[in-house]
Structure 1
Amino acid sequence: MSAASHGQQAYYFVPAPSRHPVMAAIGLFFMILGGGQWINGHDWGAYSLFFGLAWLAFVLQQWFRQAIGESERGLYSDRIDASFRWSMSWFIFSEVMFFGAFFGALYWTRMHAVPSLGDLDNALLWPDFKAFWPSVVAGATASPAGTVEPFTTMGPWPLPTINTALLLTSGVTLTIAHHALLASHRGKAIAWMWLTVLLGATFLCVQGYEYAHAYSELNLKLSSGIYGSTFFMLTGFHGFHVFVGMLMLLFITVRLMKGHFTAERHFGFEGAAWYWHFVDVVWLGLYVVVYWL
């Protein structure tokens, strides 16, 4: 019998054989198959994609529920806690590299690609090219072949600045909730967590309105040259991360309401908080580089 069965935590918890990994792989298979077929014009690919998404969501719900149950039964030792912390740290590091690649693409485009297309070496190929950023001036794009429709760039006022205030405020409310949990004030922690979730949801609503404004009034689209592609790539992926982080905080809040976590052991809370603060920092970089510069 394990040490946990005698009222002591095992040095390192070894889970029983599980069906969850292979079941998750099946869901991913249908997602990739459907996405590839849908992009190539096969309508049935959409059904496969959404079936895979629903399958994966169901499997992850069961998988996470099992892990939460193991944690609440006291099966996880300090070694497991350290393992979770390292795992979350490496995951956030991978996300740093993810956004670093996109920021690098924006930097290379602005500082190297666009200027090189406008130098003397390319004057014969693109005699009418305007080597400036962003790729629009006086209502016309820098596309000499006319392949990019005229558009207006997105400035920092007012929507991006409002979203910046929302995310910075959510970081403060999350920190207050964390300190409340450390002080064993569960009710206060729950209230501040709900406010944090509400701020995250409001951010997504404002960004959705910003996208609608960009498409309908600014004619700024994903196809609006390198400016449009980098703008939507960076802000869109960040918005997806805000959505994931908001879901994490929502589930943590529900767990708090069910009596989970203590002042001494609450890494599930901390891991979600780490992720949310990372999302905040990335947005500050986006706010400066994408909207101001």
Structure 2
Amino acid sequence: MSHPASTSRYFVPEPSPWPLVGSIALLLLASGAVLMMNSIANGGFVLIGGFAVLAIMLFGWFGRVIGESEGQRYNLQVDRSFRLAMAWFIFSEVMFFVAFFGALFYIRVVAIPDLASPEQAALWEGFRNVWPSAGPAAKDPFTQMHAWGIPAINTLLLLSSGVTVTWAHWGLVANKRQQLIIGLMLTILLGALFLTLQVYEYREAYSHLNLKMTTGVYGSTFFMLTGFHGFHVTLGVTMLTVILVRAMKGHFTAERHFAFEGVAWYWHFVDVVWLGLFVVIYWL
């Protein structure tokens, strides 16, 4: 029998219950969120149940895929389909952030100047075309989050993490398992430090700068963009941790290691998005 990598036959997996389990998880998550937003009893328990079922689905489904991959059941055609799927997934994430960057652009370039124009003076007397601004209806003063502090340190951390994950990749390609593991550990540590500093930054924003989600349009866009990015960093650290555990178990070869590459692509995407956030949110 020829090696799976040399065959042209596409791998067809056996019927799986995991998509159904994932659908149940999404139903519980949506129902729990709606119940909580409407202050209905037990909404929190339903939401927690949804997360629990989602975790079970992720462990079960990805575990099955990992087992199939390590059993060499995937040929090069399947490998190409995985790469294409990951590329489209990252593209969808790019467009997700493009929408939020577009909203910020509209606010700063169109909405704020329009509200400060002479035509709107009767409605918003004294409102000026300046940024940052919480909007003409905002009353409480706030302080802008400046770039040259925690944001600059976080930028250095993420840029360094892009170097360490690339170094880990070089180790994998060169069959240097120790370099691979150390590089992944360093990348995870840098990502965790980034998240820790972001939590501290949010604490400072709420307690000392009066910068909150309710601080008009500036507060909502600031927390929307940085918060969603923080969620993506959390997801990236989680995926890197899974890759680290697999690497320590001896998974991946110099020739076949798409799971590592897919996570590395995602991590570089997170780095690039943060550079955009640093320039647009903190610096300009």
| TM-score over 0.5 (shorter chain) | yes
> Matched residue pairs, number?
281
Moved more, 187-196 or 159-168: 187-196
Deviations 1:61-103 (A, max 9, x none): 1000000000000000000000000000000000010000000
2:235 paired with 1:240: no
What is aligned with 1:109?
Answer: 107
How far apart are the structure 2 equivalents of 1:40 and 1:165?
42
Preserved CA contact (<8 Å) 2:112 2:135: no
Which of 84, 87, 90 lines up with 1:86 in the alignment? 84
Deviations 1:193-231 (A, max 9, x none): 101100000000000000000000001001101100000
How far apart are the structure 2 equivalents of 1:142 and 1:33?
34
Which of 163, 166, 170 lines up with 1:179 in the alignment? 170
1:262 Cα shift? 0.2
Preserved CA contact (<8 Å) 1:34 1:49: yes
1:59 Cα shift? 1.1
How far apart are the structure 1 equivalents of 2:47 and 2:128?
42
Aligned residue runs from structure 1 range 60-209, under 5 A: 60-135=58-133, 143=136, 145=137, 147-209=138-200
1:142 Cα shift? 5.1
Which of 22, 36, 39 lines up with 1:38 in the alignment? 36
SS across alignment from 1:130: coil
Q: Write out the 4+ residue segments of structure 1 that deviate beyond 6 Å after TM superposition.
A: none
Relative contact order higher in (CA < 8 Å, ≥ 6 apart): 2
Give 1:237's aligned amino acid: F
Give 1:193's aligned amino acid: L
Which of 40, 44, 47 lines up with 2:45 in the alignment? 47
Preserved CA contact (<8 Å) 2:11 2:75: yes
How far apart are the structure 2 equivalents of 1:221 and 1:58?
35
Give 1:173's aligned amino acid: T
SS across alignment from 2:126: coil
Preserved CA contact (<8 Å) 2:135 2:217: no
1:8 Cα shift? 3.4
RMSD, aligned CA? 1.1
Preserved CA contact (<8 Å) 1:148 1:224: no
Which of 187, 211, 217 lines up with 1:220 in the alignment? 211
2:270 paired with 1:279: yes
How far apart are the structure 2 equivalents of 1:148 and 1:245?
38
How far apart are the structure 1 equivalents of 2:279 and 2:135?
23
SS across alignment from 1:256: helix
SS across alignment from 1:220: coil
Preserved CA contact (<8 Å) 1:171 1:277: yes
How far apart are the structure 1 equivalents of 2:173 and 2:132?
47
How far apart are the structure 1 equivalents of 2:158 and 2:28?
35
Deviations 1:90-129 (A, max 9, x none): 0000001000000000000000000001112211111232
Preserved CA contact (<8 Å) 2:159 2:271: yes
TM-score where L is the length of structure 1 = 0.94
What is aligned with 1:3?
Answer: none
Preserved CA contact (<8 Å) 1:148 1:223: no
SS across alignment from 1:17: coil
